[in-house]
């Protein structure tokens, strides 16, 4: 894990804009207004009863909230993002599918309203995130078991807390678990403007690693380059530029990457493999192109590259809850030090969920949609 020495003396990021927490305070929804009432209440939730196009199968409905008992925790959701995995889950083509009907969303931050008499680690007013996928975060309130929640500090921006448990965790584990990287080593990745990609850039910078970041060409490419370099990216290239012979000049200034992170597949992943150092590893954690990863025989034989996969849900299955909590606290320390910020976000009220779903499925989206409750 990161030691505190890595976190000090780093360049502070530009201040984040005012968080959603201020809005909640203006509405008078502070922790002091909560009670331990066990009376049932109505909640609004985005529900799907069958798999398909999210814009067609998701509906905003009212649910009954059961009374809080034993190890139950009543949580009022504050903010929940729309991630690619959420969309895939609704479509029915994800590795984990909840029982239908289901509430959408796998990530988000909420505030504890009330706790059962067996709960010892949480109290009203605490911020919490979920430990597992498939529990449904696109709703105004919910009752979860205490073991399904992790308390997070309230001194980090709300958007950072809402987007903490998926993309930054994936980025951190991929950087730490597959190659023993040292300061000065390089990492190459595609989909670099994604939530994971932005987290990789920032965490790698904190670890003093160099990053080569590949993105799809677009009309505002220079704006995107500037944005990623502001996060700490060393190089930002388009898919086409990565194929050019001139790209070899980059490796006169830094070593060949020992780690490649692939979220696209197809030709993009093949190009990453071509630039790996001998014996290097390419980790695939997504398949945006919906095309297979292709590795030439020569790369496998003569460069002995390794092909691995990563899925955060599987990592959590293989590790203890305490290890996941330690990972979350490590990332919170990075956030406090200004070394890890939330991706660019667009806040969308829950009732306008159709706008959020449509925006999240458009190409070249550079802003993560966050549902506000």
Three-class secondary structure of residue 149 per DSSP? strand
How far apart CA 130 and CA 248 sit, in angstroms, is 44
285 annotated active-site: no
Contact 105, 46 (CB under 8 A): yes
pLDDT in tens, 71-111: 999 999 999 999 999 999 999 999 999 999 999 999 999 99
Domains (ranges, CATH) in the chain?
12-119+346-357+366-373 (3.90.180.10), 179-309 (3.40.50.720)
- pLDDT for residue 210: 97
Select which of 34, 48, 94, 353 is catalytic: 94
Confidence (pLDDT) at 41 = 58
What are residue 99's phi and psi, to 5 degrees? -65, 135
Predicted pLDDT at 74: 98
Supply the pLDDT for residue 37.
Answer: 42
User: Quick check: 143 and 178 in contact, CB under 8 A?
Assistant: no
pLDDT digits (tens, 9 = 90+) for 214-226: 999 998 899 999 9
pLDDT for residue 2? 41
Closest-CA residue to 339 (of 225, 177, 209, 182): 209
Closest by Cα among 265, 363, 357 to 80: 357
Cα separation of the two ends of the chain: 34
d(CA 293, CA 314): 20
Residues of the chain with pLDDT under 70: 1-41
């Amino acid at each position: 894990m990161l030691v505190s020495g890595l976190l000090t003396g780093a360049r502070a990021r530009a201040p984040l804009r005012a968080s959603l927490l201020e809005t909640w305070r203006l509405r008078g929804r502070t922790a002091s207004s909560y009670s331990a009432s066990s009376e049932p209440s109505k909640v609004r939730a985005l529900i799907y009863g069958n798999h398909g196009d999210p814009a067609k199968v998701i509906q905003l409905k009212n649910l009954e909230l059961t009374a809080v008992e034993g190890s139950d925790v009543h949580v009022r959701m504050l903010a929940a993002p729309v991630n690619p995995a959420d969309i895939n889950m609704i479509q029915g083509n994800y590795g984990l599918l909840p029982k239908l009907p289901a509430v959408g969303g796998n990530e988000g931050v909420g505030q504890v309203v009330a706790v059962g008499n067996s709960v010892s680690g949480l109290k009203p007013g605490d911020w919490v995130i979920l430990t597992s996928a498939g529990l449904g975060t696109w709703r105004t309130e919910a009752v979860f078991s205490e073991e399904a929640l992790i308390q997070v500090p309230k001194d980090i921006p709300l958007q950072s807390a809402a987007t903490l448990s998926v993309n930054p965790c994936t980025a951190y584990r991929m950087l730490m678990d597959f190659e023993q990287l040292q300061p000065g080593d390089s990492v190459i990745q595609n989909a670099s403007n994604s939530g994971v990609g932005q987290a990789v850039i920032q965490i790698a910078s904190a670890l003093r690693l160099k990053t080569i970041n590949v993105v799809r060409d677009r009309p505002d490419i220079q704006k995107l380059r500037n944005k990623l370099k502001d996060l700490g990216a060393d190089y930002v290239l388009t898919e086409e530029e990565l194929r050019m012979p001139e790209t070899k000049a980059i490796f006169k200034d830094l070593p060949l990457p020992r780690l490649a992170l692939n979220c696209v597949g197809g030709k993009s992943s093949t190009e990453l493999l071509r630039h790996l150092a001998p014996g290097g590893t390419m980790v695939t954690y997504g398949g945006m192109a919906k095309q297979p990863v292709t590795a030439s025989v020569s790369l496998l034989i003569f460069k002995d590259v390794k092909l691995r996969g990563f899925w955060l849900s599987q990592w959590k299955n293989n590790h203890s809850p305490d290890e996941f909590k330690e990972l979350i606290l490590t990332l919170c320390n990075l956030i406090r030090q200004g070394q890890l910020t939330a991706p660019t976000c667009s806040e969308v009220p829950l009732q306008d969920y159709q706008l959020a779903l449509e925006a999240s499925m458009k190409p070249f989206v550079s802003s993560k949609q966050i549902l506000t409750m």
